[in-house]
Amino acid sequence: MTKLTTFPEPDSALSDPAELFREYLRFYRSELARRITALRGDDLTASSVPSEWTPLQMLTHLVHMEQRWFAWGFLGRAVDAPWGDQKDGRWDVPADIDTENLLARLEDGVRLTEEVLRSHRMDELATLGGRFTEEQPTLIWICFHVLQEYARHLGHLDVAVELAGGPTGEGPA
């Protein structure tokens, strides 16, 4: 069994909400990538849980989720297939998409989110016209929603990775 490490919490004196969010989100994304890259072959594409999602489907969901909230949602940008992680009400990964492609898209999302957090106030409202046509959540609300999505799904992924014999705990072994 892999040794558990201490959660790398941001400095407790940090008071900037955007920086605090960035630090926690960096941790969750790095743990997502660590767990995904520890899996091979069928462990990425086969389900080990009753709800039948696969680790690769989880990754595509998180890639699309972050894009939906920041690019399409907060910025109001047009995006290709904002719900491209779903087919017939379930998570789906098209046959021509692989782990490396999704990890590269995750990194693209990182850069966009970092740009948004550097250039906007946390109390700014989302742009109307993309994801939002009436409701305009604040950037901080979106940030907390995205953070809870990563935390919740990383917990789900922990189970699938452990069942596949992959790493447990937080941080490098």
pLDDT digits (tens, 9 = 90+) for 110-142: 999 999 999 999 999 999 999 999 999 999 999
Instruction: Tell which CATH architecture fits domain 18-163.
Output: Up-down Bundle (1.20)
Instruction: Tell me the average pLDDT across 167-173.
Output: 69
Confidence of residue 2 (pLDDT cuts 50, 70, 90): very low
Length of the chain counted residue by residue = 173
pLDDT at 145 over 90: yes
The secondary structure of 35-59 as a DSSP string is: HHHH--THHHHS--STT---HHHHH
SS3 91: strand
Task: Check the CA dihedral 84-77-115-12 and report its sign.
Answer: negative
pLDDT digits (tens, 9 = 90+) for 60-111: 999 999 999 999 999 999 999 999 999 999 999 999 999 999 999 999 999 9
What was the pLDDT predicted at 1?
35
Instruction: Tell me the average pLDDT across 20-46.
Output: 91
- pTM here? 0.90
What was the pLDDT predicted at 16?
86
pLDDT at 153 over 90: yes
Structure tokens at 126: 């989302």
What was the pLDDT predicted at 6?
54
CA–CA distance, 74 with 158 (Å, rounded to integer)? 29
